[in-house]
Structure 1
Amino acid sequence: MKKYILLIITTLLAFPTFSQIKYEEFTSAKLGESRRLKIQLPRNYDTNTDKVYPIVLVLDADYLFEPVAGNVDYFSYWEDMPESIVVGVMQGNKRYDDGNYDDTNFFPAETGAAFFEFLGLELIPYIDKQYRTAKFVIAVGHDFTANFINYYLFKDPPLFNGYISLSPDLAPMLDARLPERLAVIQNKIFYYLATGTDDIKDLMEISEGLNTSLQAIDNKNFNYYYDNFEGATHYSLVGRGIPNAMEKIFSVYRPISKQEFADVLMKTDIPIHQYLIDKYKTIEDLFGLTNPIRENDFLATAAAAEKRKKWESLREIATLAKKQYPDTVLGDYYMGRYYEEIGETKKAMRTFQGAYDKEEVDFITIDLMLDRAEKIKADFGY
């Protein structure tokens, strides 16, 4: 009995750390009816009251919501993408009416035009008003709805910043219109396209042809990614495409990896501290997020500065770390290392000693700091 009670208490205490999923009925004037929404809020959304979140809009949410929401929660837990609000539109057997297009110009018509306006003029403004949102929206669709999300690229500016198009069933002429539009688009766009070798034959050929056209686009605003999964069917490619799309679209957001360290930090001509600043400015510009620099990224850039003997960059990194994490040893350690390397050993010793009451970070312990101070004292007789 005691174990049972303890399990309940543990579950209740842990509950706030899980993503919150809720259903809402949204009455649409454009559609003349209500639509059911399924919404996943990030972990601790209610307690992080100053934080804003990108939106991931999921069409075909009757079956697409869970794989998208699960991947968003997983990737954001490990900081490989920002925490995001996932909004699913339940469509059921209305998906074909929602995606209806004109037989002449092949753009949304009648029920399709109403659904187009519902998403752009009602739903997204409602989510922006109801929740704390950042100005970055990704749309996800599969076959018929993957076709539909493309129509928003022809708005100026486009409604969405990112497009995850899973085995699209393209409307006539869209395979030609899309490359023409994306070649001249002025807004930063992330576009992911996926098919599989065992996809429906016609749809696989559509994706392969579209990929050939999109690969040829030379536009710095157009960020394009493509996968053709070996052995994947029309339905199994969804489970492989969604995490690949998230990983690629949010690649700049991720903490500095071993590969980025080796291929970029150890080779870049940009001052290493400036690379760090630029990385977070890019995150702010792209996703509307003013995130603090991660401790991991301070450690990575400082290590690169030490290995490459870029001591002025190390000083700048230490200054940033002291400002951002004043209660930790992070900035003091690297400032002490800077003073050591430029020959100001007494300043280095005092800097190491001065951090004795601060929080340790990774390998930078109080003992390490004091040992370095003692070594300087012994070597120079202070």
Structure 2
Amino acid sequence: MKKTALLLLLFLISINISAQVTYEEFSSDKLGETRKLKIQLPRNYDDNELKVYPVVIVLDGDYLFEPVAGNVDYFSYWEDMPESIVVGVMQGGTRYDDCDYDDDNGLPADKGADFFEFLGLELLPYIDQNYRTAKFVIGVGHDFTANFLNYYLFKDPPLFNGYIILSPDLAPQQTGRLADRIPAIESQLFYYLATGTDDIKGLMEGTEALNAALKPIEAKNFNYYYDNFEMGTHYSLVGRGIPNALEKIFAVFRPISKQEYKDVLMKLETPISDYLIEKYQTIEDLFGLTNPIRVNDYIATATASEKKKQWESLKSIAEMATREYPETVLGPYYMGRYYEEVGEPKKAMRTFQGAFDKEEVDFITIDMMLDRADNIKSEFGY
């Protein structure tokens, strides 16, 4: 098990090298000092000057940056999450002061109050001004810094769209305040909470109590996830929690999987083409990204439409694919299939034949399309 974990860590570090990591010093008026930042840009950041990216702010950047940045690079490489800008805030000798709160009311105090304003009023505006950012921001923290991230839920709207809260060292009254505050938040909120069975006892108990308070909340905008890792220690749970959190937060972004095909598409009573459109509209609404529909998702929804005999849905998918990938056989193939099934073989034959000079996609080859055209010609005597 240890050997497997070591190999995974080495792999994440190796792929992280491919991304662009820079080091900056940020002069903060709020803190009255300079803070060091680690910033990882997506691999192809310089290739498309119009593309924007979500932002992941990592507190405790001294040790949390690499596991977060490695997972972000890995997940985005396989399109399981969007490419993102990762910003690590170095806090090696200052984390306790940065996260300071009043023992009586549990709210940021002294240096903690300054750090609260530093993140919201200085750091994020700086990232927005100097990098191409989408309007979706995640915060990541561990114990003291995890507790501190919760304070931003009380801004209106909250500073972050997503919270990855790993074994929080909760301030007094924090649990009750969060349970009261979250149902009133109108924007979409993603909240991931984790502990482990071998976590520090007090932190584990506090996290379990917070989970008990948040789990019953029924708010349409509140997307809540919780893990209590078997044999997870205060430190090992971090390595298990980060990929789980990213996977859950960006679930809708992922290409349509075999499971989604089986459990969702094949059980739809509504047009499958509508599901495809809504999936990408949700991606745009949540993450501020206008990505083209993936070829994989066209094939998955078109195949499901064929199996469920939703021919009008297949036609809509073919039309969208033709607009988005006009140089490929994708749209013509499914449009030809539509014509075949609705009793217009001549149109089907001509559609298949007309794609002879286009690029092949996945299993859809030129030879296959020409064979379908020849079969129609032979059967109907055209």
> For this structure pair, what is the TM-score category when the shorter chain's length is used for normalisation?
over 0.9
Distance apart, 1:50 and its partner CA: 1.0
Matched residues in 2 for 1:269 and 1:196: separation?
Answer: 41
Q: Pairwise mapping of residues 69-108 of structure 1 onto structure 2 (< 5 A)? A: 69-108=69-108
> In the alignment, what sits opposite 1:8?
none
Matched residues in 1 for 2:343 and 2:287: separation?
Answer: 42
> In the alignment, what sits opposite 1:275?
275
Distance apart, 1:104 and its partner CA: 2.5
Q: RMSD of the TM alignment (CA)?
A: 1.1
Distance apart, 1:103 and its partner CA: 2.3
3-state DSSP of counterpart to 2:252: coil
Instruction: Note the alpha carbon deviations across 1:108-149, whole angstroms, 9 max, x for none.
Output: 111001000000000000000000000000000000000000
Which AA in structure 2 matches 1:160? F
1:356 maps to 2:367? no
Distance apart, 1:291 and its partner CA: 0.3
3-state DSSP of counterpart to 2:94: helix
1:147 maps to 2:147? yes
> In the alignment, what sits opposite 1:301?
301
> In the alignment, what sits opposite 1:11?
none
1:60 maps to 2:63? no
Instruction: Note the alpha carbon deviations across 1:178-212, whole angstroms, 9 max, x for none.
Output: 11111221111000000000000111111111111
Distance apart, 1:48 and its partner CA: 1.5
Matched residues in 2 for 1:44 and 1:258: separation?
Answer: 28
Which AA in structure 1 matches 2:359? E
1:227 maps to 2:243? no
Matched residues in 2 for 1:48 and 1:333: separation?
Answer: 30
3-state DSSP of counterpart to 1:197: strand
Between the two proteins, the alignment pairs up a number of residues equal to 368
Unaligned runs of 5+ residues in structure 1 are: 1-14
> In the alignment, what sits opposite 2:265?
265
8 Å CA contact 1:18–1:44 kept in 2: the answer is no
3-state DSSP of counterpart to 1:93: coil
8 Å CA contact 2:16–2:69 kept in 1: the answer is no
Return closer, same or farther for 1:43/1:192 CA change in 2, 3 Å cut-off.
same
Instruction: Note the alpha carbon deviations across 1:230-275, whole angstroms, 9 max, x for none.
Output: 0110000000000000000000000000010001100112210000
3-state DSSP of counterpart to 1:22: strand
Return closer, same or farther for 1:128/1:358 CA change in 2, 3 Å cut-off.
same
Matched residues in 1 for 2:326 and 2:376: separation?
Answer: 24
Matched residues in 2 for 1:16 and 1:187: separation?
Answer: 32
8 Å CA contact 1:298–1:317 kept in 2: the answer is yes
Which AA in structure 1 matches 2:79? E
Matched residues in 2 for 1:224 and 1:269: separation?
Answer: 28
Instruction: Note the alpha carbon deviations across 1:43-97, whole angstroms, 9 max, x for none.
Output: 1101121100000000000000000000000000000000000000000120000
Matched residues in 2 for 1:183 and 1:303: separation?
Answer: 40
Q: Pairwise mapping of residues 365-376 of structure 1 onto structure 2 (< 5 A)? A: 365-376=365-376
8 Å CA contact 2:103–2:172 kept in 1: the answer is no
1:203 maps to 2:203? yes
> In the alignment, what sits opposite 1:334?
334
8 Å CA contact 2:16–2:70 kept in 1: the answer is no
Matched residues in 2 for 1:60 and 1:142: separation?
Answer: 7
Matched residues in 1 for 2:379 and 2:222: separation?
Answer: 57
> In the alignment, what sits opposite 1:290?
290
Which AA in structure 1 matches 2:211? N
Which AA in structure 2 matches 1:377? K
Which AA in structure 1 matches 2:239? G
8 Å CA contact 2:16–2:73 kept in 1: the answer is no
1:119 maps to 2:119? yes
> In the alignment, what sits opposite 2:171?
171
> In the alignment, what sits opposite 2:213?
213
Q: TM-score, normalised by structure 2?
A: 0.95
Unaligned runs of 5+ residues in structure 2 are: 1-14
8 Å CA contact 1:17–1:43 kept in 2: the answer is no
Matched residues in 2 for 1:334 and 1:44: separation?
Answer: 32
Matched residues in 2 for 1:294 and 1:27: separation?
Answer: 42
8 Å CA contact 1:16–1:43 kept in 2: the answer is no
> In the alignment, what sits opposite 1:25?
25
Matched residues in 2 for 1:30 and 1:222: separation?
Answer: 32
Matched residues in 2 for 1:266 and 1:248: separation?
Answer: 22
Matched residues in 1 for 2:92 and 2:136: separation?
Answer: 27
Matched residues in 2 for 1:48 and 1:73: separation?
Answer: 17
3-state DSSP of counterpart to 1:227: strand
Matched residues in 2 for 1:95 and 1:141: separation?
Answer: 11
> In the alignment, what sits opposite 2:8?
none
Instruction: Note the alpha carbon deviations across 1:138-162, whole angstroms, 9 max, x for none.
Output: 0000000000000000000000000
3-state DSSP of counterpart to 2:230: strand
8 Å CA contact 1:101–1:109 kept in 2: the answer is yes
Q: TM-score, normalised by structure 1?
A: 0.95
8 Å CA contact 1:16–1:44 kept in 2: the answer is no
Which AA in structure 2 matches 1:289? L
Matched residues in 2 for 1:214 and 1:165: separation?
Answer: 13
Matched residues in 1 for 2:30 and 2:247: separation?
Answer: 35
Distance apart, 1:17 and its partner CA: 9.4
8 Å CA contact 1:17–1:44 kept in 2: the answer is no
Matched residues in 2 for 1:156 and 1:16: separation?
Answer: 35
8 Å CA contact 1:141–1:147 kept in 2: the answer is yes
3-state DSSP of counterpart to 2:35: strand
1:39 maps to 2:30? no
> In the alignment, what sits opposite 1:9?
none
Instruction: Note the alpha carbon deviations across 1:285-309, whole angstroms, 9 max, x for none.
Output: 0000000000000000000000000
Q: Pairwise mapping of residues 125-136 of structure 1 onto structure 2 (< 5 A)? A: 125-136=125-136
